[in-house]
Amino acid sequence: MKRKEYLLLALILAIPFSFYFFNPIIYGADTFYYLDGICNGSPLIADSPATVFVFSLLPCNFVFIKVLLYSLALVALFGVAKTGELLFKKNGWLAGLFIFLNPLFVFGMATLENENFAIPLLFWANYFAIKAKLSKGRERWINAVIAVGLVCVAGLFWRAAAYYLVGFGLLALPFVLPAIATILVYGADLIGNLIPRPGMWEAEFGLALLFLGLNLFTIAGLFLNSAILLIGFYWFAILILMGPLAINAVPWIAIATLALFNFDAFYKFDKILKCNFWDMIKTVLIISCIFMPFVFGYAITVSQPPTTEDLAVVQEWVDLQDSGRESKNGFSYGYWIKYLGGKPSAWGGRAVQDFNSGIVLTHLDLNCTKLNETRIMKLFDCG
């Protein structure tokens, strides 16, 4: 990659994150589990020692955290661009640009969670895995060892890294043994975690497909490059099954788009339509990649929860709880409540509760007195 290509990708990624600095909040539900630990000193009991250690070093400074999130996203973005360059020497860096055709990468890297520290390592593991597939002899094994090593380090932060070892087994011989070992040790958990969970919107079957936009069509580019065909569809299947893991499919979707972009056979339509049809399609793809970051930036600044209005309603719930009222909440708001000093009745996962009494914070419509509401929540007094 040339210096100007690195710079261009950095500037395009800076577009949504520049918007983000105008948002006084860091968005995301699970984000506030970590902010509660960083800012309030609450223990991160569900995380690995590596995650706990890294988050213990972070200051309760939202500007600093957003700069850190941008930096981690940029490292990951360069990993995708370099992987594309392995497969398409002339313009492979465009894989990094095509990441911006859908919001999965920007939205995922703009939240503050343990996987933010794993994703850059994993995207670079993809690079070395493809390099191992394309190389021979001793070089192949060296690249494979680096790829597996990066996945193992990423696994210290995020257990979902194990899916990479299984996926790499579809690429080249050196990865077969690690893939088999991973399946034998973690197979039941890996399969269990892919089962869709009704009632948890982010884990519903096929939800991530709604975010793909043009990539629903460009995913066909996987058929145009045998090197990425199996692993690309492996991650696409995981994207369909489990939305929270969808960000891992982003590099392969971007590279599939690049393969389609470089498929010159489509120029035959120019003769049929008597116009520069395929060049027009390419231009639309490039313009979309430059335009969409503005849309993503607006979304994470204005509309992605929690907004300041959301937290104001949550604070109202906490204040009523502090006054001695019985208080209940939908699990989606639990970490926001903990961050603001309240004691949630549910957090971190689906919970069935009786919302027929007390002060209730939920997305449901209840036959109670409504005290306040936002786009994603309603505050009721149910007596």
Specify the pLDDT at position 354: 79
Taking 70 as the pLDDT cut, the residues of the chain under it are: 198-201, 267-274, 349-352
Residues with Cβ within 8 Å of residue 42, at least 6 apart in sequence: 36, 338
Specify the pLDDT at position 213: 87
Task: Enter the tokens of residue 323.
Answer: 């006054």
Specify the pLDDT at position 5: 97
Alpha helices in 156-220 (DSSP H): 162-168, 176-192, 215-218
8 A C-beta contact, residue 382 and residue 357: yes
* Integer Cα distance of 360 and 358 in angstroms: 6
Place of tokens 């903990």: 338
Specify the pLDDT at position 296: 96
- What does pTM read for this prediction? 0.94
- Sheet with 359-362, side-by-side order of all strands: 327-329, 359-362, 378-381, 369-373
* Nearest one of 285, 262, 269 to 214, comparing CA atoms: 285
Specify the pLDDT at position 173: 95
Specify the pLDDT at position 270: 67
Specify the pLDDT at position 214: 86
Specify the pLDDT at position 373: 96
* Integer Cα distance of 362 and 329 in angstroms: 6
* Integer Cα distance of 351 and 240 in angstroms: 24
Specify the pLDDT at position 275: 73
CA-to-CA separations, 247 to 12, 93, 237, 274, 382, in angstroms, rounded: 18, 19, 12, 39, 40
